[in-house]
Amino acid sequence: MIPSVSAAPPTRAKLGGLSTRVVLDDPNRVHYGNDIPVSGSLLLKYLPLLRGLPNSPLNAELFGPLQVEITLGGSARINHVNETRAEVFALVKEVVCIHDGPFRASPDEERRLPFAIRFPAHANPSSNTTGVRSWPLHEHVLPVEREALPPTCSVHLNHDAWETRKSAKWSSTTDTAMSVDYTIDTQVRMPGIKMEIVDATQQGGTSVLYDQPKIPLSIATCNQSLTSEFSQTFTAQNEALRPSSKRPHGVRNKTKALLKPAELPRFIFEAELIGIPKHAYVGRQLSFALSIIPHASSTVQTAPNLFLDSCTITLIAHTTGLQPAVIEIIKTKEAGFSSAKPYSEEYGWTKSINIGQLSWVPSTFTFRNITRTYKLRIAVQFSVGAQKMKMSRDVPLTIHPPVESDTTRVGTAEDPDGLPSYQEASYESRADLGPVPSYEQAMTTTTTTSSDAMPHDAAPSYGDHNVGFASASLG
């Protein structure tokens, strides 16, 4: 008796691949809140299985049902030095169907499907994930509140913290303490057709820059009057402060002055920094004034030439809530001032200091127990004759998004005269990802998925890279 053999179900031959790639209309645009949607296009290109045989029936036109969804996802990742697993917070998951119907494409033809999707008003409060464990947010934050979305940013450990991490039980080689990333991902399928969907977009999705909503003009106007001041007293005392007629001349007089020195004249003055802003807005200028007040207790006959040699501005970010807390120098620049001439009564003993325009920097924010703040370090050097005098002071600075009424669009473009942008000051984090692969490279090197099943609703995988700033910037 011949045993019966069940026939295997027929298999459908694959028709080739459908390459997909997301292209944003403006990749450098910073989306402030949800007033302007994230817009772009999904490029689809049909790659037949036998591309080298033009007369093959497998190179016929592709026609069939197509379903395309666009997902705007966001995640915050917090790495603690003394913990082996990172905390991952799912912030955003907005899904939009941009096509559900017939689709037709010739071999190697590229089709474009436009899309637009908005950020939500608040972060997703659903869950917090560490490793494989997930629990409701209210176990950590009571009561549950709708938190604002944190801006795109990446916080890096300084060298000392990195040395501490290496001595701890830490399996990752990244030095990112915290990162907030937003991306555009796609889900493409052709039901009933054996087609390989090849994603040619960079790994992790297409990055989108986000920051908090713009500030109303009324609030910015009110904050404009909030400034700080500080002063420091200096004493200049040197031979150059004597009148020329009273300086020793000749060998005998110089020797006599050396053996029996007389008290040198003193010039005492107070340096005062005035109108240092407490609030800064992306796209607006930062400036203050530096005044000199001569003291009546000076022993010089006339006020000497007092020069402002330099004014160095450093933007510093301080992130607390991490273990350890992170302090980052975002950028240092030489500020311009109104005149290279010495201080004089003619100009009120005052010089205007222009820091420049603030390009995009992640706003001051608080997320969970993480708080990111900024401060300006102002370092000034004066000279009186051959004598140099310095002072330095750190002043707190709250950084805000642009003002609603400001019509000039602020993105991440380089501004040589202003505070540098977040991307300029950050690590070259995207360089290691390499260029976006071509369609042909994607067919052979990119992980493919069957079009018969949609991807799971798993949280997106975010690499330990930075979108720029490691920190903010001064131009």
C-alpha 391/C-alpha 147 separation (Å) is 41
The per-residue pLDDT for range 368-383, each reduced to its tens digit, is: 888 999 999 999 999 9
How many other β-carbons are positioned within 10 Å of the β-carbon of residue 182?
Answer: 26
Q: Using one digit for the tens of pLDDT, what is the confidence trace for 303-352?
A: 888 999 999 999 999 988 877 788 888 889 999 888 788 998 888 899 99
Mean pLDDT of 411-417: 49
Residues 6+ apart with CB under 8 A from 341: none
Range 47-76 burial, b when 16+ CB lie within 10 A, else e: bbbeeeeeeeeebeebeeebbbbbbbbbbb
CATH assignment of 217-400, among 3.40.50, 1.10.3470, 2.40.50, 2.60.40 = 2.60.40
Please determine, for residue 165, whether its predicted confidence score (pLDDT) is greater than 70: no
Query: Which pLDDT belongs to residue 176?
Result: 80
What's the CATH number for 16-51+58-126+147-158+175-211? 2.60.40
Better pLDDT: 92 or 442: 92
Given pLDDT bands bounded at 50, 70 and 90, which one contains residue 441?
very low
Residue range 104-109: average pLDDT? 87
Cβ atoms of residues 240 and 428 within 8 Å: no
C-alpha span between 68 and 66 (Å, rounded): 7
Rounded to two decimals, what is the model's pTM? Answer: 0.72
- HEC sequence for the chain: CCCCCCCCCCCCCCCEEEEEEEEECCCCCEEECCCCCEEEEEEEEEEECCCCCCCCHHHCCEEEEEEEEEEEEEEEEECCCCCCCCEEEEEEEEEEEEEEEEEEECCCCEEEEEEEECCCCCCCCCEEEECCEEEEHHHCCCCCCCCCCCCCEEEECCHHHHHHHHHCCCCCCCCEEEEEEEEEEEEEECCCCCCEEEECCCCCCEEEEEECCCECHHHHHHHCCCEEEEEEEEEEECHHHCCHHHCCCHHHHHHHHHHCCCCCCEEEEEEEEEEEECEEECCCEEEEEEEEEECCCCCCCCCCCEEEEEEEEEEEEEEECCCCCEEEEEEEEECEECCCCCCCHHHCCEEEEEEEEECCCCCCEEECCEEEEEEEEEEEEEEECCEEEEEEEEEEEEEECCECCCCCCCCCCCCCCCECCHHHHCCCHHHHHCCCCCHHHHHHHCCEEECCCCCCCCCCCCCCCCCCCCCCCCC
Among 28-42, 69-83, 123-137, 338-352, where is mean pLDDT lowest? 123-137
Give whichever of 4-8, 50-54, 86-90, 436-440 has the largest mean pLDDT: 86-90
Task: Please state the φ and ψ torsions of residue 399, each to the nearest 5 degrees.
Answer: -100, 130
pLDDT band at 122 (very low <50, low <70, confident <90, very high): confident
Torsion of the alpha carbons at 104, 108, 109 and 115, rounded to the nearest 10: 90
452 or 357: which leads in pLDDT: 357
Residue carrying the six token digits 């990195």: 162
The single-letter code of the amino acid at 47 is L
Distance (Å, whole) CA 216 – CA 239: 56
Average pLDDT over residues 360-375: 91
Q: Quick one: average pLDDT of 126-148?
A: 50
- Give the pLDDT confidence of 245-294 residue by residue, as tens digits: 555 555 555 555 554 555 678 889 999 999 999 999 999 999 999 999 99
- Looking at the chain, the domain(s) classified CATH 2.60.40 span 16-51+58-126+147-158+175-211, 217-400
Is residue 188 pLDDT above 80, yes or no? yes
pLDDT computed for residue 204 by the predictor: 79
Q: Is the pLDDT confidence value at 475 over 90? A: no
Confidence bin at 107 (pLDDT 50/70/90): confident
The mean pLDDT of the chain is: 75
Q: What are phi and psi of 413, to 5 degrees?
A: -65, 150
pLDDT computed for residue 254 by the predictor: 55
The per-residue pLDDT for 346 is 84
Residue 363, pLDDT score: 95
Q: Does 172 have pLDDT greater than 60?
A: no
pLDDT for 237 equals: 83
